[in-house]
Every structure is written in C-alpha cells, then in structure tokens.
Amino acid sequence: ETGVTQTPRHLVMGMTNKKSLKCEQHLGHNAMYWYKQSAKKPLELMFVYSLEERVENNSVPSRFSPECPNSSHLFLHLHTLQPEDSALYLCASSQTGDRTEAFFGQGTRLTVV
Amino acid sequence: ELKVEQNPLFLSMQEGKNYTIYCNYSTTSDRLYWYRQDPGKSLESLFVLLSNGAVKQEGRLMASLDTKARLSTLHITAAVHDLSATYFCAPDSNSGYALNFGKGTSLLVTP
C-alpha cells in the first residue's frame, strides 16, 4: 500500500450511532489532517496532528473526536451526528519539516440519516 | 488567520480557449500549492510553488506565484475537456503543518 488510505469509502449512519473513520499513511510523514468537504462549504480544516499531538482544533463540535495513536494512523470517532454532518471527510498527511504539499486520501463519503 | 480568495468560482469555457484563475491570500506566505479535484474524488497535487516568481508548467496548465502581491495564477492554455475539474489553491501557513484552501474554481470545458 502506498499513499494515504481511508476506510470506509462510504458510510451511512443513524443519528444515534457511533462509528469511526480510519486513515493510514504510508509516506513516513509526521503530520496528519482531517478535512470536511460539503456542498455548501469549501474544504474545512477540522484537526491537525503533528508528531502525534493535536495542534489545531478548528472549533469542531464535540461529536467529532479525533485520535492519533501513532504517526501513521489517524481516526475520527463519530457519535450522535446530525444530518448536516453529511459530507466528504478527507484525510491528508504531510512532512512539516520539509513543508511540502499534503497528500490526500480518497475520502469517506458520510451520510447521516 | 490566513484567508484565501479564488476567482472565478465557476468557469465555463470552450475548448481551445485560454483563461486564468486567480488566487489571492491575506497574509505573508512564501509558498503555495495548487490541487485538482475531479467529481467524487480526492485532491491531487498539481503544482508546488516554492518562492516569489516561481513558475511551473505541466501540459496546458501554468502556475505562477507573486509573494509580494500575495497572488498566484493558474493559466489554462487551449483548454480541453479533460481539464474539467475543481481547482484549489492553498498558501502555506508558514507554521509548517496547516493548509488553508480557497473555495475552489469549478471549471467546465465544453466543445
């Protein structure tokens, strides 16, 4: 496997469910990101982890909970979501010391019903 | 907070025509990235502009960066249908770990 891999690719969940999105990067990067992309808004940066520590949390509701157990894995835990949370969730990684571009996963298309 | 403005947001152009997409940003940044996104797909890196005056070309696309004017352009030459996609610019935040994206320019190239 190379690049950034996200699972699942599609997810339908009820508002009372709990689910998790997974992201894995095979690029040796030290920073990972979660973005939300919806029809109404451009790419919204949700969370940034650098060296496994959360360095940015852009006013994201607590129903979204990130976890970064190591530099290669990033999770987004979801609970009691709202229909307006339906969107494409993109994971990305980069090497902060080199300040090179971020590489994106294929995304998880989330639908909250 | 770094703000990024792209224009136009929507662009419909005929094959064979030329056009330029503009990306303005609000605070100092010495490098900038352009990405392409096809419908339902993820973002693909197109160009990395590393310094003031940088110019990069790939096929019918050419990107440039003017850090003093806080402006980047993406020029399309003799458009073809395969270029239809959404294009995003993202100035580096200088903090080393965050990317702020413009709203994207949705390009449709028609026969």
CA distance B89 to chain A (A): 11
Q: Angle at CA B2, nearest 5°, toward A31 and B5?
A: 115
Please list the pLDDT of chain B residue by residue as tens digits (111 residues).
Answer: 788 999 999 999 999 999 999 999 998 888 899 999 998 889 999 999 988 999 999 999 999 999 999 999 999 999 999 999 999 999 987 776 667 899 999 999 998
Q: Taking CB atoms and an 8 Å limit, are A55 and B31 in contact across chains?
A: no
CA distance A45 to chain B (A): 7
Q: In this predicted model, which residue has the larger pLDDT, A18 or B29?
A: A18
Q: Taking CB atoms and an 8 Å limit, are A104 and B42 in contact across chains?
A: yes
Q: In this predicted model, which residue has the larger pLDDT, B73 or A39?
A: B73
* Sheet of strand B32-37, all strands in order from the earlier edge strand to the far edge: B10-14, B105-110, B85-91, B32-37, B43-49
In which band, very low, low, confident or very high, does the pLDDT at A59 lie, cut at 50, 70 and 90?
Answer: confident
Amino acid A1: pLDDT: 56
Looking at residue B24, its amino acid is N
Amino acid A109: pLDDT: 96
Q: How many whole angstroms from its chain centre is CA B35?
A: 7
Looking at residue A41, its amino acid is K
Q: What share of chain B is helix, strand, coil (3-state, %, to 5)?
A: 5, 55, 45
Q: Which of A31, A42, A103 faces B97 most closely, judged by CB atoms?
A: A31
Tell me the mean pLDDT in the region A60-67: 95
Pairing outcome for strands A103-104 and B32-37: unpaired
Pairing outcome for strands B61-66 and B10-14: unpaired
Amino acid B99: pLDDT: 78
Q: What is the total residue count of chain A?
A: 113
Q: Is residue A57's pLDDT more than 90?
A: no
Amino acid A67: pLDDT: 96
Amino acid B30: pLDDT: 86
